[in-house]
Structure 1
Amino acid sequence: MSSTQKIIVLRFSAMGDVAMVASILQEFSEQNPTVELIMVSRPAFKPFFDHIPSLIFHPIQPKAAHKGIDGLYKLYQELRSYKPNAIADLHDNLRSRAISTFFRLTGTKIRRIDKGRAEKKALTRTNNKIFKPLRKTVERYADVFRELGFSVELSHKIEKSPQEIPANAQNLFANKATKKVGISPFAQHVYKVYALEKMEEVIALLNELGYELFIFGGGKTEQAVAENWTKTYKNAHNVIGSFNLTEELAIISNLDLMLSMDSSGMHMASLAGVPVVSVWGPTHPYAGFLGYGQLENDCIQVEHPSRPNSIYGNKPCLCGVENCIDLIKPETIVNKIKEKLNG
């Protein structure tokens, strides 16, 4: 490929999906150092891409400057100034298709992600379920670049690279002898959240073991929950609301392990090179959304013929009276964490 190659990459949401894009663009950039990437996503997600060489971040403002078809045409005009050779649509939604269409009319090469919708429907349906691992989402992202003619081989490995700890968090890392465990107990969809009373049991057990615990994710409601936990358990620290995303990523990069739902916390830890113990309910790693470089053996889940019944976790569990995620015992999670930290 010529040194003048420029690719516009489209992926606007959700947070975890955008973090996964950052993971593969890091490897793409290392393998294709002469290619310039223009990443188009929401402004809040820019820190995911700050470490990637030869990448320009271009924000989309879907509720302001880029609202509606007129706003998308304005975004197209902004992006056209980069004179891209190709568009990598890693989102495949109405907005990304509109942008792609504008570029197609000028003869720009477009390639779009194959989300495997039919396979995912077969994986999650109740009758005649086809229970098998599907192509990983990160490979589906990489396929788009391969179809554009670029070479990219994903290692599917995480590389720990601790960043400088933010000044107002350094006191939390003062004791070098203790293991540092992140906990990301919340998720966008309630059906992916392990019952908070059971999560508190996990925190209590980890606190007794002497681990330093860092609680991530969520808004005001979740922040209040985390603050109550930190008042009860001396080794628990609330990160919510005290740090920006760049600082959170730096803190995560200094952890020994992250405990997360099937949520953005898992993908942020993957991006920071930290191993994850993940807890799964109506979703399943087979759908392809396991954190980049994470191990399926570190996924905690209940085997049931109705699982999975949802790709994104926006549907309730169909496993019976009790949700499948609630069948997981706190001790099971703690034992897996001990195994990972002591192994």
Structure 2
Amino acid sequence: MIASVFPPPKRVLVIRLQNHGDVLLTTPIFSALKRQFPEVEVDALVFAETVPMLVANPDLTKVWALPRGKQVGRGLRRINAFIQLMLGIRRRRYDWVLHLNDQWPGALAAAVSGASLRFGYEMEKRDFWLWRKIFPVRIVPTFAGHMVEKNLAVLEALGVSVDPRHAPCTMGFSGQDAGLVSGKLAAAGVTGKYVLIHPTSRWFFKCWEDERFAEVISALAGSGWQVVLTSAPDQREVDLVDGLLRRASHPGVVSLAGQLTLPQLAAAIAGATLFIGVDSVPMHMAAALGVPLVALFGPTHVHIWRPWTDRAEVIHAADYGPLIAPNDVDTSTSERYLSNIPVQPVQDAVWRQLARFANQKKVADVV
């Protein structure tokens, strides 16, 4: 048990330099550390664009943002920003640093931290003496289970007790976010219960056929449900939602597409009776917020990326016909790979979820 060799940590830095969903699925580590070491301060280092996933997380003391691309400029300005970030990490005097992917900037942060315990993954692409020097403690990552289980395996290897069955993800939002969303919903005429549908993904190969989504939307609206459509601000996603509005024209269907930040979207999801969407960040947000959901999956490793909740129904395109292998997908393609999924199974799952959860109280993280 590695943890028993070291005194209980006062400060731990968890590094996750990946996408929004990856960051959200890391949050059980934060809460598990707080349960094991109640006095510990847990910080996170993430890419700047993913910070909204963590800004309202009650288990974190500080979130470090690593800019990339054009976020911080070029040349000396970029170098200076990185140096200041590293100096700030050094000044925090971490006891443990856990690096949960293979990015070299994260390895440099671990190296300059001065932490007595530095963890990194043992992987072929990082089989260098420098990587081994920076990370004396390593394990081979496993992809046998869910991504949350892979993350928690790090703590188990360090001797930190954790039960994945009681390790939910955490997605927070502020009272200000909730108030803004309430105002937008009221202005759109939405009162009382509603179903939130997020039909888009930044990767369009994960999207379902528009006419089929419109059929589900129309069935809900025709049954008296208010339906709120959302998407990211990306114009392609907004255009997709606008097309659904035209196909499923009904006064009970409204759009907040492109109008919400991620914490505001979380507030909107938290207020919903049911979430319907594809394999995307909002789907994981709904799971973290305890909102019942129906999730449509295409060529994805479902066992790794399924919603981390027992309140979800997953519809997988592979169950309805041949499907391209996940590793063979060109993510830039405009082709959609959910066309195998018929309307009826989705509608059946929606009605089952509504029958099961429509009158149950939801639990959401509001801070």
TM-score with structure 2 setting the length: 0.74
Amino acid at match of 2:216: V
Which residue number corresponds to residue 252 of structure 2? 235
5 Å matches for 1:322-341? 325-341=338-354
Which residue number corresponds to residue 19 of structure 1? 24
Q: Does the CA-based 8 Å contact 1:33-1:54 persist in structure 2? A: no
SS at match of 2:263: helix
SS at match of 2:26: helix
Which residue number corresponds to residue 290 of structure 2? 273
Cα offset, 1:300, TM superposition: 3.7
Amino acid at match of 1:148: L
Which residue number corresponds to residue 204 of structure 2? 190
- Does residue 55 (structure 1) correspond to residue 61 (structure 2)? The answer is yes
Amino acid at match of 2:30: L
SS at match of 2:13: strand
Q: Does the CA-based 8 Å contact 1:6-1:85 persist in structure 2? A: yes
| Residue segments in structure 1 that go unaligned for 5+ positions in a row | 118-132
- Does residue 292 (structure 1) correspond to residue 308 (structure 2)? The answer is yes
CA-based RMSD = 3.5
> Between Structure 1 and Structure 2, how many residues are aligned?
319
Cα offset, 1:294, TM superposition: 4.4
TM-score with structure 1 setting the length: 0.78
Change (3 A) 1:284 1:212: farther
Q: Once the two structures are aligned, what percentage of the paired residues are identical?
A: 18
Cα offset, 1:325, TM superposition: 1.7
- Return the alpha-carbon distance in structure 2 between the equivalents of residues 66 and 27 of structure 1: 37
- Return the alpha-carbon distance in structure 2 between the equivalents of residues 158 and 38 of structure 1: 16
Decide which of 17, 21, 33 is 2:38's aligned counterpart: 33
Q: Does the CA-based 8 Å contact 2:90-2:112 persist in structure 1? A: no
Q: Does the CA-based 8 Å contact 1:20-1:291 persist in structure 2? A: no
Amino acid at match of 2:213: M
Q: Does the CA-based 8 Å contact 1:87-1:100 persist in structure 2? A: yes
- Return the alpha-carbon distance in structure 1 between the equivalents of residues 300 and 153 of structure 2: 24
Change (3 A) 1:82 1:160: closer
- Does residue 215 (structure 1) correspond to residue 229 (structure 2)? The answer is yes
Amino acid at match of 1:111: F
- Does residue 95 (structure 1) correspond to residue 95 (structure 2)? The answer is no
5 Å matches for 1:237-256? 237-256=254-273
- Does residue 110 (structure 1) correspond to residue 123 (structure 2)? The answer is no
Which residue number corresponds to residue 264 of structure 1? 281
Q: Does the CA-based 8 Å contact 1:192-1:313 persist in structure 2? A: no
Amino acid at match of 2:61: L
Which residue number corresponds to residue 155 of structure 2? 145
Cα offset, 1:309, TM superposition: 1.1
Which residue number corresponds to residue 129 of structure 2? none
Q: Deviations over 1:161-205 (max 9, x none)?
A: 9985424235168533x4x22212111222211122322222222
